[in-house]
Amino acid sequence: MKIASLIHERIARYSCKEVSDLIKDFHVSESGYKEEEILESREEYGSNILTKKKTDTVWYRMRRAFINPFTIILCCLASISFITDVLLKSNFSKNITTSLIIICMLLISGSVRFIQEMRSKKVSDRLTQLVSTTAMVRRDNSWKNINSDELVVGDRVRLRAGDCVPADIRLTLAEDLFVSQSAITGESTLLEKDISTLSKENKQSYTSYNNVVFMGSSVIGGNAEGVVLAVGKDTAYGEIWISGNIRKSGFEKGANSIAWVLIRFMMVLVPIVFIAGGLTKGDWVSSFLFALSVAVGLTPEMLPMVINACLAKGSASMMKKETVVKNINAMQELGSMDILCVDKTGTLTGDTVLLEYYIDILGNESNKVLEYAYLNSLYHTGVQNHLDTAILKVPTMLSQEEYFEDLAKQHSKLDEFPFDYERKFVSALVKGKDENLLLIKGSIEQVCNRCRYVEYQGKVVEIEGDTFEGVHAIVDEMLEDGMKVLAVAYKLQSNKNMSKDDEQDFILLGYLAFFDAPKQSAISAIEKLKSLHVDVKVLTGDQKSIAISICRRLGLGISALTGAELEELSEDELPIRIEQTTIFAELSPRQKSRIVKILQNNGHIVGYLGDGMNDLSSIIEADVGISVENAVEAVQESADVILLKKDLNVLEEGVLEGRKAFANMSKYIKITASSNFGNILSIVFASIFLPFLPMLSVQLLLLNLLYDILCLVLPWDNVDEDIYSLPREWSGRTLGRFMRFFGPISSIFDIVTFGFLYFIVCPKICGGTFNMLIETSSQLKFITTFQTGWFLESMWTQVLILHLLRTRKIPLLQSRPSRQVIAVTILGIGLFTALIFTPFGALFGLEPLPVYYFMFLLSIVILYMLLISFAKVYYVRKYHELI
Gap between the Cα atoms of 85 and 282, Å rounded:
20
3-state secondary structure of 222: strand
Mind giving me the DSSP string for 323-379? EEESSTHHHHHHHH--EEEE-STTTTB-S--EEEEEEETTS-B-HHHHHHHHHHHHT
| Measured CA distances, 481 to 475, 485, 552, 667 (Å) | 10, 11, 11, 50
Distance of CA 616 to the CA centre of its chain: 13
> Is residue 168 annotated as part of the catalytic site, yes or no?
no
Give, as one character, the DSSP assignment of residue 497. S
Residue closest to 168 by CA, chosen among 335, 11, 25:
11
Buried b (16+ CB within 10 A) or exposed e, 599-626: bbeeebbbbbbbbbbbbbbbbbbbbbbb
Give, as one character, the DSSP assignment of residue 154. T
Contact 761, 849 (CB under 8 A): yes
Contact 172, 229 (CB under 8 A): no
Give the residues across from 134 on adjacent strands. Answer: 147
Gap between the Cα atoms of 490 and 677, Å rounded:
78
Buried b (16+ CB within 10 A) or exposed e, 2-12: eeeeebeebbb
Contact 385, 377 (CB under 8 A): no
Residue closest to 235 by CA, chosen among 3, 38, 59, 2:
3
Strands 606-609 and 339-342: parallel
Contact 673, 262 (CB under 8 A): yes
| Measured CA distances, 126 to 114, 325, 564 (Å) | 18, 14, 40
Ordered strands of the 560-562 beta sheet: 323-325, 641-643, 624-628, 606-609, 339-342, 535-539, 583-585, 560-562
Residue 136: partners with Cβ closer than 8 Å, 6 or more residues away: 143, 144, 145, 157, 158, 159, 160
Q: What separation, in Å, do the N-terminal and C-terminal C-alpha atoms of the chain show? A: 51
Residue closest to 358 by CA, chosen among 169, 555, 138, 509:
509
Strands 425-430 and 436-442: antiparallel
Gap between the Cα atoms of 627 and 611, Å rounded:
6
| Measured CA distances, 417 to 78, 177, 589, 734, 822 (Å) | 65, 9, 20, 57, 68
| Measured CA distances, 820 to 304, 305, 308, 495, 801 (Å) | 21, 18, 18, 78, 17
Residue 57: CB atoms within 10 Å: 14
Distance of CA 25 to the CA centre of its chain: 44
Among the listed residues 85, 168, 343, 647, the single catalytic one is: 343
Contact 868, 801 (CB under 8 A): yes
> Phi/psi of residue 509, each to 5°?
-105, -40
User: Angle at the Cα of 190 (from 235 to 215), degrees rounded to 5?
Assistant: 15
Active site residue ranges: 343
